[in-house]
Amino acid sequence: MKHVELMDISKSYDKQTNVLDEINLSINKGEFFVLVGPSGCGKSTLLRMVAGLEEITGGVLKLNDEVANHLPPKNRNLSMVFQNYALYPHLTVEQNILFGLDVKRVNKKEQKRRLMETAEMIGLSELLKRKPKELSGGQRQRVALARSVVSEAPLCLMDEPLSNLDAKLRAHMRVEIRRLQRKLGLTMIYVTHDQVEAMTMGDRIMVLNDGKVQQVGKPITLYNEP
Ligand code: ADP
Ligand code: ADP
Protein backbone atom coordinates (compact mmCIF):
# COMPACT_ATOMS: atom_id res chain seq x y z
CA MET A 1 0.00 0.00 0.00
CA LYS A 2 1.34 3.38 -1.01
CA HIS A 3 1.79 5.96 1.73
CA VAL A 4 3.77 8.80 0.11
CA GLU A 5 3.88 9.51 -3.60
CA LEU A 6 5.85 12.20 -5.41
CA MET A 7 4.86 12.73 -9.02
CA ASP A 8 7.12 15.00 -11.08
CA ILE A 9 7.87 17.09 -8.00
CA SER A 10 9.98 20.17 -8.62
CA LYS A 11 11.04 23.01 -6.38
CA SER A 12 12.39 26.45 -7.13
CA TYR A 13 13.08 29.08 -4.49
CA ASP A 14 13.75 31.87 -6.99
CA LYS A 15 11.41 30.96 -9.91
CA GLN A 16 14.50 30.36 -12.10
CA THR A 17 16.63 27.45 -10.93
CA ASN A 18 15.19 24.13 -9.75
CA VAL A 19 16.75 22.80 -6.54
CA LEU A 20 14.64 19.66 -7.13
CA ASP A 21 13.88 18.52 -10.65
CA GLU A 22 10.94 16.23 -11.52
CA ILE A 23 11.32 13.75 -8.68
CA ASN A 24 9.22 10.59 -8.97
CA LEU A 25 8.99 8.35 -5.97
CA SER A 26 6.57 6.05 -4.22
CA ILE A 27 7.02 4.96 -0.60
CA ASN A 28 5.01 2.08 0.85
CA LYS A 29 3.38 1.86 4.27
CA GLY A 30 5.87 0.58 6.85
CA GLU A 31 8.87 1.14 4.61
CA PHE A 32 12.14 2.63 5.91
CA PHE A 33 13.14 4.92 3.08
CA VAL A 34 16.49 6.71 3.14
CA LEU A 35 17.32 9.85 1.21
CA VAL A 36 21.06 10.25 0.83
CA GLY A 37 23.28 12.73 -1.02
CA PRO A 38 25.79 15.53 -0.54
CA SER A 39 25.02 18.74 1.34
CA GLY A 40 22.90 21.11 -0.71
CA CYS A 41 21.46 18.47 -3.07
CA GLY A 42 17.87 19.11 -1.89
CA LYS A 43 17.20 16.46 0.78
CA SER A 44 15.81 18.84 3.42
CA THR A 45 13.75 20.66 0.84
CA LEU A 46 12.10 17.41 -0.23
CA LEU A 47 11.38 16.45 3.38
CA ARG A 48 9.93 19.87 4.18
CA MET A 49 7.61 19.65 1.16
CA VAL A 50 6.26 16.31 2.38
CA ALA A 51 5.74 17.90 5.81
CA GLY A 52 3.93 20.88 4.30
CA LEU A 53 6.55 23.33 5.58
CA GLU A 54 7.64 24.31 2.07
CA GLU A 55 5.51 25.18 -0.94
CA ILE A 56 5.60 22.71 -3.84
CA THR A 57 6.27 24.57 -7.09
CA GLY A 58 5.65 21.71 -9.54
CA GLY A 59 4.08 18.26 -9.57
CA VAL A 60 1.78 16.37 -7.26
CA LEU A 61 2.27 15.06 -3.72
CA LYS A 62 -0.05 12.31 -2.58
CA LEU A 63 -0.48 11.04 0.98
CA ASN A 64 -2.57 7.87 1.33
CA ASP A 65 -3.61 8.17 -2.33
CA GLU A 66 -5.00 11.69 -1.88
CA VAL A 67 -3.53 14.85 -3.38
CA ALA A 68 -1.86 16.70 -0.49
CA ASN A 69 -0.09 19.66 -2.12
CA HIS A 70 -2.11 22.16 -0.10
CA LEU A 71 -3.04 20.04 2.92
CA PRO A 72 -2.21 21.94 6.15
CA PRO A 73 0.76 20.38 8.03
CA LYS A 74 -1.37 19.48 11.05
CA ASN A 75 -3.66 17.35 8.86
CA ARG A 76 -0.84 15.26 7.36
CA ASN A 77 -0.65 12.85 10.28
CA LEU A 78 3.14 12.85 10.46
CA SER A 79 5.89 13.69 12.91
CA MET A 80 9.29 15.20 12.26
CA VAL A 81 12.67 14.93 13.99
CA PHE A 82 15.22 17.65 13.28
CA GLN A 83 19.00 17.64 13.33
CA ASN A 84 19.15 20.18 16.18
CA TYR A 85 16.24 18.42 18.03
CA ALA A 86 14.31 21.72 18.38
CA LEU A 87 13.62 21.26 22.10
CA TYR A 88 12.19 24.11 24.18
CA PRO A 89 14.93 25.04 26.69
CA HIS A 90 12.54 26.36 29.37
CA LEU A 91 10.34 23.22 29.36
CA THR A 92 11.11 19.91 31.11
CA VAL A 93 11.61 16.67 29.21
CA GLU A 94 8.03 15.68 30.01
CA GLN A 95 6.64 19.02 28.82
CA ASN A 96 8.74 18.85 25.66
CA ILE A 97 7.45 15.37 24.86
CA LEU A 98 3.83 16.32 25.46
CA PHE A 99 3.86 19.75 23.82
CA GLY A 100 2.33 18.61 20.54
CA LEU A 101 -0.43 16.64 22.29
CA ASP A 102 -1.49 19.73 24.24
CA VAL A 103 -1.76 21.61 20.97
CA LYS A 104 -3.88 18.77 19.53
CA ARG A 105 -6.05 18.76 22.68
CA VAL A 106 -5.42 15.12 23.54
CA ASN A 107 -6.89 14.66 27.04
CA LYS A 108 -4.60 14.48 30.09
CA LYS A 109 -5.25 10.84 30.89
CA GLU A 110 -4.37 9.75 27.37
CA GLN A 111 -1.29 12.03 27.46
CA LYS A 112 -0.12 10.34 30.66
CA ARG A 113 -0.59 6.87 29.16
CA ARG A 114 1.38 7.70 26.04
CA LEU A 115 4.08 9.50 28.03
CA MET A 116 4.74 6.52 30.32
CA GLU A 117 4.71 4.02 27.48
CA THR A 118 7.02 6.12 25.30
CA ALA A 119 9.44 7.07 28.10
CA GLU A 120 9.76 3.39 29.04
CA MET A 121 10.31 2.33 25.43
CA ILE A 122 12.98 4.97 24.79
CA GLY A 123 14.66 4.90 28.21
CA LEU A 124 13.70 8.35 29.48
CA SER A 125 11.63 7.42 32.54
CA GLU A 126 14.24 8.73 35.00
CA LEU A 127 14.78 12.02 33.17
CA LEU A 128 11.26 13.41 32.79
CA LYS A 129 11.69 16.34 35.23
CA ARG A 130 14.98 17.58 33.79
CA LYS A 131 15.51 20.51 31.45
CA PRO A 132 17.28 20.02 28.10
CA LYS A 133 20.45 21.73 29.36
CA GLU A 134 20.76 19.02 32.05
CA LEU A 135 20.90 16.28 29.41
CA SER A 136 23.69 14.81 27.28
CA GLY A 137 23.50 15.02 23.50
CA GLY A 138 22.29 11.45 23.25
CA GLN A 139 19.58 12.05 25.84
CA ARG A 140 18.37 15.15 23.99
CA GLN A 141 18.20 13.10 20.84
CA ARG A 142 16.02 10.59 22.67
CA VAL A 143 13.65 13.35 23.78
CA ALA A 144 13.23 14.42 20.16
CA LEU A 145 12.57 10.81 19.23
CA ALA A 146 10.05 10.45 22.07
CA ARG A 147 8.20 13.56 20.96
CA SER A 148 7.84 12.00 17.54
CA VAL A 149 6.75 8.56 18.84
CA VAL A 150 4.22 10.00 21.31
CA SER A 151 2.31 11.61 18.44
CA GLU A 152 1.43 8.09 17.21
CA ALA A 153 1.62 9.45 13.67
CA PRO A 154 2.10 6.65 11.13
CA LEU A 155 4.59 8.66 9.03
CA CYS A 156 7.88 9.87 10.49
CA LEU A 157 10.30 12.27 8.80
CA MET A 158 13.85 12.51 10.14
CA ASP A 159 16.38 15.08 8.97
CA GLU A 160 19.93 14.02 9.89
CA PRO A 161 18.84 13.08 13.43
CA LEU A 162 22.18 11.52 14.43
CA SER A 163 24.69 13.96 12.99
CA ASN A 164 25.35 15.72 16.33
CA LEU A 165 26.21 12.49 18.17
CA ASP A 166 29.59 10.79 18.53
CA ALA A 167 30.33 7.66 16.49
CA LYS A 168 29.55 5.15 19.24
CA LEU A 169 26.20 6.69 20.10
CA ARG A 170 25.34 7.01 16.41
CA ALA A 171 25.85 3.30 15.92
CA HIS A 172 23.66 2.58 18.94
CA MET A 173 20.88 4.93 17.83
CA ARG A 174 20.84 3.52 14.30
CA VAL A 175 19.77 0.21 15.77
CA GLU A 176 17.38 1.86 18.22
CA ILE A 177 15.56 3.86 15.54
CA ARG A 178 15.17 0.80 13.30
CA ARG A 179 13.81 -1.18 16.24
CA LEU A 180 11.25 1.49 17.05
CA GLN A 181 10.25 1.89 13.42
CA ARG A 182 9.61 -1.86 13.07
CA LYS A 183 7.83 -2.17 16.39
CA LEU A 184 5.47 0.69 15.58
CA GLY A 185 5.13 -0.16 11.88
CA LEU A 186 6.05 3.40 10.91
CA THR A 187 6.63 4.64 7.41
CA MET A 188 9.96 6.45 7.61
CA ILE A 189 11.66 8.99 5.39
CA TYR A 190 15.14 9.37 6.76
CA VAL A 191 17.55 12.01 5.45
CA THR A 192 21.29 11.60 5.86
CA HIS A 193 24.56 12.32 4.10
CA ASP A 194 26.14 9.31 5.83
CA GLN A 195 26.59 6.28 3.54
CA VAL A 196 26.84 3.85 6.46
CA GLU A 197 23.54 5.05 7.91
CA ALA A 198 21.92 4.73 4.51
CA MET A 199 23.24 1.23 3.84
CA THR A 200 22.54 -0.21 7.28
CA MET A 201 19.14 1.37 7.95
CA GLY A 202 17.30 1.62 4.66
CA ASP A 203 14.85 -0.86 3.15
CA ARG A 204 15.33 1.30 0.10
CA ILE A 205 17.66 4.18 -0.64
CA MET A 206 17.37 7.11 -3.00
CA VAL A 207 20.57 8.87 -3.98
CA LEU A 208 19.98 12.53 -4.81
CA ASN A 209 22.52 14.64 -6.62
CA ASP A 210 22.05 18.27 -7.50
CA GLY A 211 18.27 17.98 -7.25
CA LYS A 212 17.98 14.91 -9.45
CA VAL A 213 17.48 11.23 -8.65
CA GLN A 214 20.73 9.43 -9.33
CA GLN A 215 19.74 5.96 -8.11
CA VAL A 216 16.95 4.24 -6.22
CA GLY A 217 17.07 0.70 -4.89
CA LYS A 218 17.70 -1.73 -2.08
CA PRO A 219 21.02 -1.22 -0.24
CA ILE A 220 22.57 -4.39 -1.65
CA THR A 221 21.93 -3.48 -5.31
CA LEU A 222 23.34 0.01 -4.83
CA TYR A 223 26.36 -1.36 -3.02
CA ASN A 224 27.15 -3.68 -5.92
CA GLU A 225 27.04 -0.89 -8.52
CA PRO A 226 30.48 -0.10 -9.95
P1 ADP B 1 20.33 19.40 1.71
O2 ADP B 1 19.29 19.15 2.74
O3 ADP B 1 20.53 18.24 0.78
O4 ADP B 1 21.61 19.89 2.29
P5 ADP B 1 18.68 21.66 1.03
O6 ADP B 1 17.37 21.12 0.66
O7 ADP B 1 18.87 22.25 2.37
O8 ADP B 1 19.78 20.55 0.75
O9 ADP B 1 19.09 22.76 -0.05
C10 ADP B 1 19.00 22.53 -1.46
C11 ADP B 1 19.35 23.82 -2.18
O12 ADP B 1 18.31 24.76 -1.95
C13 ADP B 1 20.63 24.47 -1.72
O14 ADP B 1 21.24 25.05 -2.85
C15 ADP B 1 20.16 25.54 -0.76
O16 ADP B 1 21.06 26.62 -0.72
C17 ADP B 1 18.83 25.93 -1.36
N18 ADP B 1 17.86 26.38 -0.32
C19 ADP B 1 17.44 25.67 0.74
N20 ADP B 1 16.55 26.35 1.46
C21 ADP B 1 16.41 27.54 0.83
C22 ADP B 1 15.63 28.69 1.09
N23 ADP B 1 14.79 28.75 2.15
N24 ADP B 1 15.73 29.73 0.23
C25 ADP B 1 16.55 29.67 -0.83
N26 ADP B 1 17.32 28.62 -1.14
C27 ADP B 1 17.26 27.56 -0.31
P1 ADP C 1 20.93 21.36 6.06
O2 ADP C 1 21.62 20.82 7.28
O3 ADP C 1 19.63 20.72 5.78
O4 ADP C 1 21.84 21.43 4.86
P5 ADP C 1 21.15 24.22 5.98
O6 ADP C 1 22.15 24.65 7.01
O7 ADP C 1 21.52 24.13 4.55
O8 ADP C 1 20.52 22.83 6.48
O9 ADP C 1 19.86 25.15 6.08
C10 ADP C 1 19.33 25.55 7.31
C11 ADP C 1 18.18 26.52 7.03
O12 ADP C 1 18.61 27.58 6.15
C13 ADP C 1 16.99 25.88 6.34
O14 ADP C 1 15.81 26.31 6.97
C15 ADP C 1 17.05 26.35 4.91
O16 ADP C 1 15.74 26.55 4.38
C17 ADP C 1 17.76 27.67 5.01
N18 ADP C 1 18.60 27.88 3.84
C19 ADP C 1 19.50 27.02 3.31
N20 ADP C 1 20.06 27.53 2.22
C21 ADP C 1 19.49 28.75 2.04
C22 ADP C 1 19.66 29.78 1.06
N23 ADP C 1 20.50 29.66 0.04
N24 ADP C 1 18.91 30.89 1.20
C25 ADP C 1 18.07 31.01 2.22
N26 ADP C 1 17.85 30.08 3.17
C27 ADP C 1 18.57 28.96 3.08
203-225 residue pLDDT tens: 999 999 999 999 999 998 776 65
Classified as helix, coil or strand, 220 is helix
pTM score of the predicted model: 0.88
With contact defined as beta carbons under 8 Å apart, do 148 and 86 qualify?
A: no
What is the rounded end-to-end Cα distance, in angstroms, of the chain?
32
Q: What's the 42 CA to ligand 2 centre distance in angstroms?
A: 10
Q: What's the 68 CA to ligand 1 centre distance in angstroms?
A: 22
* Nearest atom (ligand 1) to Cα of 47: 6
> What is the chain's mean pLDDT, rounded?
93
> What's the pLDDT score for residue 168?
87
> What's the pLDDT score for residue 200?
94
Cα R_g (the chain), whole angstroms = 18
* Best CA proximity match to 77, nearest among 54, 45, 100: 100
Q: What's the 76 CA to ligand 1 centre distance in angstroms?
A: 23
For residues 121 and 112, the model is more confident at 112
* Best CA proximity match to 61, nearest among 40, 87, 70: 70
Q: What's the 105 CA to ligand 1 centre distance in angstroms?
A: 34
pLDDT tens for residues 152-174? 999 999 999 998 888 888 898 89
Q: What does the alpha-carbon distance between residue 95 and residue 87 come to, in Å, rounded to a whole number? A: 10
Residue nearest to atom 27 of ligand 1 (CA): 13
Q: What does the alpha-carbon distance between residue 60 and residue 67 come to, in Å, rounded to a whole number? A: 7
- Best mutation site among 9, 10, 12, 13 for ligand 1 pocket (most ligand atoms within 8 Å of CB): 13
> What's the pLDDT score for residue 9?
97
> What's the pLDDT score for residue 223?
64
> What's the pLDDT score for residue 225?
57
Mean pLDDT of 90-110: 93
ipTM of the complex: 0.72
